[in-house]
């Protein structure tokens, strides 16, 4: 892990920007944090700062909610998905240890985007991956 992942988890956006980007209310965003679906960073003055990963997660949450999933369900899905990602990462490491970090990450990314990770492909709302490429 590094480079791209570091950038994706960098705290950059205030809640106002995130509201616009996700079309969620401040109340909703804070509620999801309360239920530990996201954990945005804080400024010294205690204002939330969201990363691109946070925003992606919020878009996923929004989608799942639209499909009727509740907080508990989303929480489960997230932790399962997290597991999967770890497993896939390990496999990739073993399978092709001569790959570049870059190549490895791209591989992983594809696998996750397509098969595993939260059926990312069903996300109707644009996700933040647009912001990379």
30 binds DNA (CB under 7 A): yes
The CA distances from residue 94 to 64, 104, 123, in Å, are 33, 11, 31
**Interface map 53-82 toward a second copy (x if CB under 8 A):** ------------------------------
Supply the minimum distance, in Å, between the C-beta of residue 1 and a second copy.
16
Helix/strand/coil for 6: helix
Q: Under rule CB under 8 A, which residues in 26-45 are in contact with a second copy?
A: 43
CB atoms within 10 A of CB 63: 19
- Residues in the interface with a second copy (CB under 8 A) total 14
Q: Token pair for residue 86?
A: 């770890």
Smallest gap from Cβ 133 to a second copy, in A, equals: 5
């Amino acid at each position: 892990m590094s480079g791209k992942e570091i950038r994706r988890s960098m705290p950059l956006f205030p809640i106002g920007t995130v509201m616009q980007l996700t079309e969620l209310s401040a109340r909703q965003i804070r509620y999801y944090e309360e239920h530990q679906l996201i954990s945005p960073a804080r400024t010294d003055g205690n204002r939330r700062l969201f990363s691109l990963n946070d925003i992606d997660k919020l878009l996923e949450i929004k989608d799942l909610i639209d499909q009727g999933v509740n907080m508990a369900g989303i929480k489960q899905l997230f932790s399962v998905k997290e597991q999967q990602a770890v497993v896939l990462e390990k496999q990739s490491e073993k399978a092709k240890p001569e790959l570049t970090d870059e190549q490895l990450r791209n591989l992983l990314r594809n696998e996750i985007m397509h098969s595993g990770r939260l059926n990312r492909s069903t996300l109707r709302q644009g996700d933040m991956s647009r912001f990379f490429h």
